[in-house]
Chain A
Amino acid sequence: MAEQVVTHDGEGGDDATRRDFIHIAAGAAAAGAGVMAAWPLINSMNPAADTLALSTVEFDMSKVQEGQQVVIQWQGKPVFVRYRTEREVQEAADTPLSDLKDPQTDAERVKEGHQQYLVVVGSCTHLGCVPTFGTGDFGGWFCPCHGSHYDTSGRIRKGPAPLNLAVPEYEYLSDTSIRIG
C-alpha cells in the first residue's frame, strides 16, 4: 500500500514534497512521543525526594581529639572530620603548589580561624573507597584499593586518584559545631 502512495505522489512535483513533509512530520511526531514517554521512566531513576531530604547533618567538633579524626555519615558517604596537630597544619601549608597534582592551598580547604579542623568527604576520588587514616607516604590518608596517597590537607600526592578529597559545603554554626550540606 505504502509503495503505491509514493508512486502516485511522484507525478505531482511540489505536491510530492508537501506530502513527503507530512510523512516525515508524522514520523517525527512518533519519535517525539517515544522520547516523551521514555523520559518519565528515565527520570524516575533520579534521586527520589526522600533520598534528597537526607542532605544535611550537624556535628559537634569538640568530639574530635587532637591528632585524631571522626568519621560521620553524610548522604550515605563517610565524612572525615580531622583535628590536625600544629605540625600537620604546618606541613600542609608549607607544601609548594608545584608538588601537587590538583593544586589547591591548604587555606582554600579549611575555614578561616579553624585551620586545625579539616572536613573532607572520605571517599577516594579514584574509585570511591574509604582511605585509611594516618597512613601513606604523606601522613594524611592512604587508599587501600589502588594505592592513592593523600596529605594532611586531603590533597592527592601519589597514586591513581585524579583529584583532592572533596571538601563538602559546610559552615560553622558556632565555634564548635558545623552543619554539612
Chain B
Amino acid sequence: MSDHESTYVPKTGVEKWLDTRLPIVRFGADYMSLPTPKNLNYWYTFGGILALCLMIQIVTGIVLAMHYVPNTAMAFESVERIMRDVNGGWLVRYVHANGASMFFIAVYLHMLRGLYYGSYKAPREMIWIVGCVIFFLMIATAFLGYVLPWGQMSFWGAEVITNLIGAVPVVGEPILIWLRGGPSIDNATLNRFFSLHYLLPFVIAGCVVLHLWALHHAGQNNPVGILIPKDRQAKDTVPFHPYYTVKDGFAIILFLIMFAYFVFFNPNALGHADNYIPANPLVTPAHIVPEWYMLPFYAILRAIPDKFGGVVAMFGAIAVLFVIPWLDTSKVRSMRYRPQMRTFFLIFLVVCFGLGWCGGQLPDAHVIGDFDTFILIDGDLNSYLWLTRLLTAYYFIFFLVLMPLVGLREKPLPIPASISEPVLSPRIPDAAETPKAV
C-alpha cells in the first residue's frame, strides 16, 4: 500500500490553489481511499478505538486541568469540587478516570491481536516498536495521572514506584531526590507530575502519527498474514472509507457502551476505595495495589526477592516486547497456521491474566485452600509468591525460548495464496471457526 497512487483530483479553484501549496486535502483523501485488506476482523478495530481513547483523555484532561489545583493542600479538595460543584464535572472526571482503564483494555487487546497475527514481523517492525514506545508512555502517563488526586493510593503508589529508581546502584539515590524535588514525595513532586502528565499525552499523539506513518508505509497486516500481491490488490482490498470507517465506527460504539456502563453505573469499580482518603505520609494503606492495568508488571516486580532484580525484571517484561520481531523465527505471520504456537499463545494469555490476579494478592497468602505445603527457599509453595514466580517464568520463556524455538521446529499449516482463498474455501482452518484448537 506504500505505492498507493493518489486518486485525488482537486475540483474547485480553491482546492487547486491549496493543493499546490499544502496538499493537506490530498493527504486526507489518499488516507481515506487507502486499499485495505478486506478480511480484517473485529480485532483490527482497536486501533480506531485507541485513537478515540487518546482523544477522549486529552479533551477531558484539558477541561479537568482548568479546575484542578496541583498543590498538596488543595489537590484532593479540588477533585471533589469538580465532582460536586463544577457543572457536569463529575461526568468529565469519571470519563477521564475510567477512560484510562478503557484505554488499557483496548491497548492490551490491540497488542494481543498484533502478537496473534504476527503484525510485528517484517516489514512491520517499526510499527510494533513505535507501538511499544506508546505503550510505555501510556504506563508513565497513567502513573503520573493517578498521583494527581492526592489520595492515599496516589501518594503511596508514587512512593513505591519512585523508590524503584532508588534501587539502581550508585546513581539511584541522587536521581530519586532529583525526580521528587526533595527528600520525600511532596508538593514539588505533585507539581512536576502534573506538568509531565499534561505533556506526555501529546508525546503519545506524536508517536501515534509515527505509528500510522509506518503502518501506511509498510501496509496493513491481516488475519491470514500474507502480503497482498500487486495483481490481487483489486480483488483482495477495499478502500478504507467507507468499508472500515463504518466497521471501526460500529466497534467504537460497542466499546462506548461498555465505557458508559462503567462511567454511569459503576464509576469507582476499577479504582481503589483508599484513594478517596486524602494522602497521609505517616500512614501506609494496609494493602497497596496499583491500578489493574499495572498489576501483571507489579506481580513480576514482587516475584524477585532482590530489590534491584525485581526492578530489572519488571522493566525487562516491557523491554522484551521491543525485540519480539527478532525473537520470532517463524516464516509464517499468523498463528492461524501455527497450531503449536497458538497453544503456547493461549497459555500466555492465561498467564497474563494470572499475573494480573497475583499482583492484587498478598504474596504470602495461600492460593488453594488454607493449608501450608512446604517451604521452598523463602516461601510456602502454596502461596502467591510461588505462583507468581511460575507465571513470571512462563512470561519470559514464551518470548525468549518458545518464540525462537517453535518458529524453527514447528510445521505450519498450508498458507493460502491469497486472502480471498480461505474466505471462499472453508476447508482452511480459521482461528475464529475451529474451536478444537481453543
C-alpha spacing A145/B186, complex, angstroms: 20
* Contact A76:B307 (CB < 8 A) given known A47-B181, A47-B182, A145-B160: no
- Indicate whether A45 sits within 8 Å of B364 (C-beta atoms), given known contacts A77-B184, A128-B159, A129-B288: no
Closest residue of chain B to A52 (Cβ to Cβ) is B182
A76 neighbours in B (Cβ, 8 Å): 182-186, 281
B305 and A46 form a contact (CB under 8 A): no
CA of A77 to CA of B181, assembled, Å: 14
B192 at interface, CB cutoff 8 A: yes
Roughly how many angstroms separate A160 CA and B309 CA in the complex, as a whole number? 11
Q: Which residues of A in the span 75-133 have a Cβ within 8 Å of any Cβ on B?
A: 75-78, 122-123, 126-130
Chain B contacts for A161, CB-based, 8 A? 307
Counting from the closest, the 8 A-B pairs by CB-CB distance are: A76-B184, A75-B183, A129-B284, A127-B160, A51-B182, A127-B163, A130-B284, A128-B163
Q: Interface size of B by Cβ–Cβ distance < 8 Å?
A: 33
Q: Is A23 an interface residue (CB 8 A)?
A: no
Q: Are A146 and B302 in contact (CB under 8 A)?
A: yes
When the two chains form their complex, are residues A146 and B363 in contact, meaning their CB atoms are under 8 A apart?
Answer: yes
Q: Is the CB of A162 within 8 A of B307?
A: yes
Evaluate contact between B181 and A51: CB separation under 8 angstroms.
Answer: yes
Q: Which residues of B contact A (CB under 8 A)?
A: 156, 159-160, 162-164, 177-179, 181-186, 188, 192, 281-288, 302, 305-307, 310, 362-364
Question: Majority SS of interface residues in chain A?
Answer: loop
- Count, A-B residue pairs, CB within 8 A: 82
28 of the cross-chain contacts (CB-CB < 8 Å) are A42-B178, A45-B179, A46-B177, A47-B182, A47-B183, A47-B188, A48-B181, A48-B182, A51-B181, A51-B188, A75-B182, A75-B184, A76-B186, A77-B183, A77-B281, A78-B281, A126-B163, A128-B160, A128-B163, A129-B156, A129-B284, A144-B284, A144-B287, A145-B156, A145-B284, A145-B288, A147-B362, A160-B310
Chain A residues with CB below 8 A from B285, complex form: 144
Docked CA distance A160–B282 (Å)? 21
Residues in A with CB closer than 8 Å to B156 are 129, 145
Q: Which of B177, B179, B305 contacts A160 (CB under 8 A)?
A: B305
Nearest residue (CB) in A for B379 is A147
With A51-B186, A75-B184: A46-B287 Cβ-Cβ less than 8 Å? no
Instruction: Spell out A's residues near B (CB within 8 Å).
Output: 42, 45-48, 51, 71, 73, 75-78, 122-123, 126-130, 143-147, 160-162
Distance in angstroms between the alpha carbons of A123 and B281 in the assembled complex: 10
In the bound complex, do residue A130 and residue B188 qualify as a contact, i.e. CB atoms below 8 Å apart?
A: no
Report the minimal beta-carbon distance from B151 to chain A, rounded to whole angstroms. 16
- A46-B178 in contact (CB<8A): yes
- Additional A-B contacts beyond A47-B177, A73-B281, A123-B159 (7; CB < 8 A): A45-B192, A46-B181, A51-B188, A75-B184, A129-B159, A129-B288, A130-B282
**Cα(A178)–Cα(B292), bound, Å:** 44
Closest to A79 in B: B282
Is the beta-carbon distance between B178 and A78 smaller than 8 angstroms?
A: no
B27 to chain A, nearest CB (A): 30
Minimum Cβ distance to chain B for residue A50 (Å)? 9
- A78 touches which of B181, B188, B282, B310 (Cβ 8 Å): B282
Report chain B residues within 8 Å CB of A127.
159-160, 163-164, 307
